[in-house]
Amino acid sequence: MVLTLSTPLSLYFIPAVWLTAFLPVTFKTILIHQVKGLNNVAPRTSTAAVTADKNIPPEVAARIMRMEGAHLNGNENFPIWIAAVLAGNIAGLDNRTMNVTSLIYIAGRILYNYIYFNQVTEVQSSLRSAVYFGALCCPMYLLFQAAAKMKAEGRLA
């Protein structure tokens, strides 16, 4: 099977977006393991242990906190993405629209994570926020397109 932008792939982008939320915590765990060691009995305490440890360079502790922040942000945004993809499929939006919007969203989430991990200035944090809101337009676009199509077809009151 040849994959094109017209191939029905949008449901596969749900786990792909989930991965953009999961990878930051994976990178965080690896970094914690390298600098302090991971408490696998209570892994959610590891970030606090690193930030409280005066032997850990502050810039490393700050990076770990930003990785956790990127992970939490990804988790917070995941439900709207699932809703958008499902609404688009239920409404019957064309595959090209679904796929292109999905790819843009994934690229935005990856860029967001990269900036979040590495930001150290106000300007960089503003860029991160701009990328966040730009990417957030993707699920909103799908939701509004789905609603408009369903309304036009009389399937939405």
Give the predicted TM-score (pTM) of the model: 0.95
pLDDT per position as a tens digit, 35-55: 999 888 998 899 999 999 999
Average pLDDT of the chain is 96
CA-nearest of 9, 135, 140 to 74 is: 135
Provide the 10 A C-beta neighbour count for residue 62: 14
Q: Collect all residues with Cβ–Cβ distance below 8 Å to 91 and sequence separation of at least 6.
A: 145, 146, 147, 149, 150, 155
What pLDDT is attached to residue 31? Answer: 97
Give the count of alpha carbons within 13 A of 140, CB side only. 6
From the list 71, 73, 70, 61, the residue with the least C-alpha distance to 34 is 61
Contacts of 114 (CB under 8 A, 6+ apart): none
14 φ/ψ angles, rounded to the nearest 5 degrees = -65, -55
The answer, yes or no, to whether residue 157 has pLDDT greater than 80, is: no
**Percent of the chain scoring above 90 in pLDDT:** 94
Tell me, what's the pLDDT at 156?
A: 87
CA-CA distances (angstroms) from residue 23 to 2, 53, 69? Answer: 28, 24, 12
Which residues fall within 8 angstroms of residue 44, CB to CB, at 6 or more apart? Answer: none
CA–CA separation, 96 and 5 (whole Å): 5
Give the domains, in start order, of the chain with CATH numbers. 10-152 (1.20.120.550)
| Ramachandran assignment for 93, one of left (phi > 0), alpha (psi -120 to 50 degrees), beta (any other) | beta
* Predicted confidence (pLDDT) at residue 1 exceeds the cutoff of 90: no
Q: Write out pLDDT tens, residues 60-111.
A: 999 999 999 999 999 999 999 999 999 999 999 999 999 999 999 999 999 9
